[in-house]
Amino acid sequence: MHIIMKKAALASLTLLLAGAFAPAIAQEAKQPENATPLANQQTLSLATSGWQTRCSAKDRKTALECVVEASAVLSNNGQRLTDFSIRVPEPKAAPVMLLRVPLEVSLAAGVNVKVDEGKVFSYPLQSCNNNGCFIGNKLDQDLLKALIKGSNLVITFKDTAQNDIRLSLPLNGFGDAFAAVK
């Protein structure tokens, strides 16, 4: 099972995630072999949606706009933790990344994204609403290359008490899904 590592008590995480519910997710994530939680960190079980694609257009004369997306929820209660999507407005346009994290995160700390143990990409949070806090940004080509070749997308941020939160989405199937929509 993939893990969320958190230095604070589970009660703090429960408050962090209150109100964010998702439908049942079919695929249980597996924990990486080298993942060993530190003594003062909480380990929780996640379920992920896998990489899905969808395309739509305004009408039959308009180019398709496609999205590759995945989400992660707590296995025990379905609370949604994150959504990560890449929108491809049209085949020749630059892909755009959209990332959602739960409410009650440190806005000043922003969010870090990396693939496996690779380069860290830092992003400021741009807005929050009742569904969470969001980042929308042109997808860095180095990050895209890493997503296609990598095993896990690692998303890290801090809660309002400055505790680290680490989420991991498996990248199995991402390369095929992205190739289908680009």
What confidence category does residue 30 fall into, taking pLDDT thresholds of 50, 70 and 90?
very low
Computed on alpha carbons and rounded to an integer, the radius of gyration of the chain in Å comes to: 16
Q: Which among 152, 128, 153 is positioned nearest to 139, based on CA atoms? A: 153
What confidence category does residue 130 fall into, taking pLDDT thresholds of 50, 70 and 90?
very high
Residues 160-176, buried b or exposed e (16+ Cβ, 10 A)?
Answer: eeebebbbbbbbbebee
Question: What are the pLDDT digits (tens) for 68-117?
Answer: 999 988 888 888 888 999 999 876 788 999 999 988 888 889 999 999 99
For residues 14 and 174, the model is more confident at 174
Question: What are the pLDDT digits (tens) for 38-52?
Answer: 433 444 567 888 899
Please name each of the domains of the chain with its CATH number. Answer: 3-56+63-181 (2.60.40.1880)
Q: Which among 76, 79, 56, 53 is positioned nearest to 131, based on CA atoms? A: 79
Contact in structure between 132 and 111 (CB atoms under 8 Å): no
What confidence category does residue 14 fall into, taking pLDDT thresholds of 50, 70 and 90?
very low
What confidence category does residue 17 fall into, taking pLDDT thresholds of 50, 70 and 90?
very low
How high is the pLDDT of residue 44?
Answer: 55
